[in-house]
Structure 1
Amino acid sequence: MLTIIDKYILKRYLATFAVMLLLFIPIGIVIDVSEKINKMLENKVPFIDVAIYYYHFTVYFANMLFPIFLFLSVIWFTSKLANNTEIIAILSSGISFTRFLRPYLIGASIISVFVLLMGFFIVPASSEGFNNFRYTYLRTGGMQDMMGDNTDVYRQISDNEFIYVNSFNTETKTAFNFSLEKFKKDKLEYKITASRIKWNPKDSTYTMYDYTKRIVGVEGDKIEKAPEKKAVFNFDLEDLTPVVYIAETLSLGKLNAFIDKEKSRGSSNINVYLVVLYKKFSIPVSAFILTVIAVAVSSMKRRGGMGVNLAIGIALAFAFVFFDKIFGVLAEKSSIPAMLAVWLPNIAFGILAIYLLRNAKR
């Protein structure tokens, strides 16, 4: 049963977090518009596409910086409670510090569930819309310019088949510089190449342009050529897209299925997918850890006032985001287990939260 004090703190917790989002998101949009307005005007981007892009941008931006927004909002209103000696009054009435923390944890639970559901269903769609807009209107070289060296996609689609594409256009569903190699007992059986390959959703086929097939024979190779050729392949459209791009745009169920499929193929990029999957669960958990740290840091009335608490809070929040990004990249680029790398920031800051909480109780 929630008491009046619980309702008061919980209301301040959720309201301050909402206000923090409403304050920072428009700032992010203004900065983004100022950076991209020339490109938008140059490419004559339709207003409806711009509006849809900034909806996706808002979701993408809020999800990415959610830990900072949450941490600063808790620091802000808890510091105000401390400066107004409200916390001293609450604790003097016989309420323990642990009991005082309860409405904060309830608020963290509400936000965690919300962020968890967003990460499962809403953020993947917004990530796709956000990236599609940038590839279509804001990059001179399209997908290839955007992805740089990471554009090249190699896939093992079966025990003896491998595909490669240089780049992929998400709007036209077209891949460029396509090749497929099939081996038999470690020897090349045939190789198919095409300058581009386009997906046909109506009949689930692919159309290859500047098609060439080289069949390796004992006495000599046989070569087939055609300016255009339709075919059915046993790989999915997602297999042609860049690694990070496709992982970020899949909902939870599709991402799990995709990871299972890649594991069965022995994909060397499996850690990239696992980092995206584990972060869907680790980011909501960080709400509890950051809430406890924020309360422990800001519940004491300091001589420097709210400024000191905010300075400490900003430093800790950015440290958390920094370590989260660093360990994520390490998991993708090295042999560190993805689960350990993703959860390590939460573990480290969880230990810090316990230490600060024990000090705050004293």
Structure 2
Amino acid sequence: MLTILDKYILKRYLITFLGMLLLFVPIGIMANLAEKIGKIIDNEAPLSEVIMFYGNFTLVIGNLLLPIFLFLSIIFFTSKLASNTEIVAILSSGVSYWRFLRPYMIGASLVAILIFFMGMFIVPNASIGYNEFEYKYFKKGRQVQQTTNIFNQLNDQDLIYVSSFDPDRQIGYNFTYEHFDENEVLDYKISAANIRWVEKDSLYRLTNYRKRKVRDGKELIETKRRLDTIFSFQIDDLTPVSYVADTKNLFELNDFIEEQRKKGASNINSYVLVKYKRWALPVAAFVLTIIAVAVSSVKRRGGMGVNLAFGIGVAFIYIFFDKVFGTLAEQSGFSPLLAVVLPNLIFGIVGLYLLQKAKR
């Protein structure tokens, strides 16, 4: 049951958090619009699509920054409580520091639930429109895709490989296609110097084509300088766009990762990282709440400005750690799970230390 103290702090908690969102989200939209307005005009983007884009922009970017907004809002209103000596009065009345912390954790739980449902089910849908608009009008259709050593298992019998892939020209180099029979014995193998998608003819063009198969113990080899043909796969099956995982909800993402793992996708870590980050964001709400309370509940010389400056510094360091470990997971063999756990673990330990110090 919530007491008067719980309701008082929780009310200030949520009102300040909402005010922070209403303040910074429009600023973020205006800053992005000021940067991109030239491209929007040059590419003649329809007004309806622009409005829809910034609606999706609010959901996608806002969800990522919710823990940071929460962190700054707690520092803001808790510093105000401390400067008015309200915290001293609360603790002097016999309320323990851990009891004083309870409404903050209740508030963090509510925000964490919001982050969870947005990240798992709402933001993925918004991410589709957000990314499509980005690549259509801002990046001239140049979608980010993996470009080297691409291996893909299309099904139980067919595998494809290219040593490098140019998404702009839709051409893959050192192409190999292997087909196995029901006994998992290689039936035939096709290789080519490159494979190009010819959109106007809806076919693939292979250069320096070579097909090798074995029939009745004899090796049969077919070669052509150029061959136009049709395959059952799409050119994008060579490698999906990098943001594909961002567009899938919780259940779709799990299925997609399992499908990519069966295909032997070499960039599987980037998809797994997206999954773990969605689970890590709600945890970050609790970690940053603890740090914010520990920092701002003590009255300091310099007041709220010092606490806000410290809070902004911590927020930037947290984002820095998150980006560094995320990059390690995407571009090396570093574990995606550790990449999302370590920032929260490190800052969680720092938060508990600061909390003990503030309690004394």
Measured against the shorter chain, the TM-score band is: 0.7 to 0.9
2:275 matches 1:277: yes
2:236 matches 1:232: no
Taking the aligned partners of 1:73 and 1:109, their CA distance within structure 2 comes to 15
Q: Residues 318, 15 of structure 1: CA spacing in aligned structure 2 closer, same or farther, 3 A cutoff?
A: same
Equivalent runs, 1:100-115 vs 2, <5 Å: 100-115=100-115
Q: What is the match of residue 66 of structure 1? A: 66
The equivalent position to 1:257 in structure 2, one of 247, 255, 258, is 255
Equivalent runs, 1:59-138 vs 2, <5 Å: 59-138=59-138
Taking the aligned partners of 1:138 and 1:347, their CA distance within structure 2 comes to 37
Equivalent runs, 1:46-65 vs 2, <5 Å: 46-65=46-65
Identity over the aligned pairs, expressed in percent?
47
**RMSD of aligned Cα (Å):** 2.8
Equivalent runs, 1:194-273 vs 2, <5 Å: 195-196=196-197, 207-210=202-205, 214-216=210-212, 218=219, 220-223=221-224, 229=230, 231-233=231-233, 240-242=239-241, 244-273=242-271
Q: What is the match of residue 284 of structure 2? A: 286
Q: Indicate the SS of the match to 2:300.
A: coil
Does structure 1 conserve the Cα–Cα contact (< 8 Å) formed by 2:170 and 2:235? no
Equivalent runs, 1:345-356 vs 2, <5 Å: 345-356=343-354
The alignment's TM-score, normalised by the length of structure 2, stands at 0.86
Taking the aligned partners of 1:151 and 1:48, their CA distance within structure 2 comes to 34
Paired letter, 1:208: L
Q: CA deviation at 1:264?
A: 2.5
Q: What is the match of residue 182 of structure 1? A: 178
The equivalent position to 1:308 in structure 2, one of 281, 293, 306, is 306
Does structure 2 conserve the Cα–Cα contact (< 8 Å) formed by 1:36 and 1:138? yes
Equivalent runs, 1:18-33 vs 2, <5 Å: 18-33=18-33
Q: What is the match of residue 4 of structure 1? A: 4
Q: Which runs of 5+ in 2 are unaligned?
A: 214-218
Q: Residues 102, 272 of structure 1: CA spacing in aligned structure 2 closer, same or farther, 3 A cutoff?
A: same
Taking the aligned partners of 2:210 and 2:237, their CA distance within structure 1 comes to 26
Taking the aligned partners of 1:152 and 1:18, their CA distance within structure 2 comes to 45
Q: What is the match of residue 172 of structure 1? A: none
Q: CA deviation at 1:150?
A: 4.1
Taking the aligned partners of 2:67 and 2:198, their CA distance within structure 1 comes to 42
Q: CA deviation at 1:256?
A: 0.9
Range moving further from structure 2, 38-47 or 156-165:
156-165
Q: CA deviation at 1:4?
A: 1.3
Taking the aligned partners of 1:118 and 1:58, their CA distance within structure 2 comes to 12
2:140 matches 1:156: no
Q: Indicate the SS of the match to 1:82.
A: helix
Q: CA deviation at 1:209?
A: 4.8
Q: CA deviation at 1:125?
A: 1.9
Paired letter, 1:48: S
Paired letter, 1:58: T
The alignment's TM-score, normalised by the length of structure 1, stands at 0.85
Paired letter, 2:211: I
Q: CA deviation at 1:222?
A: 4.8
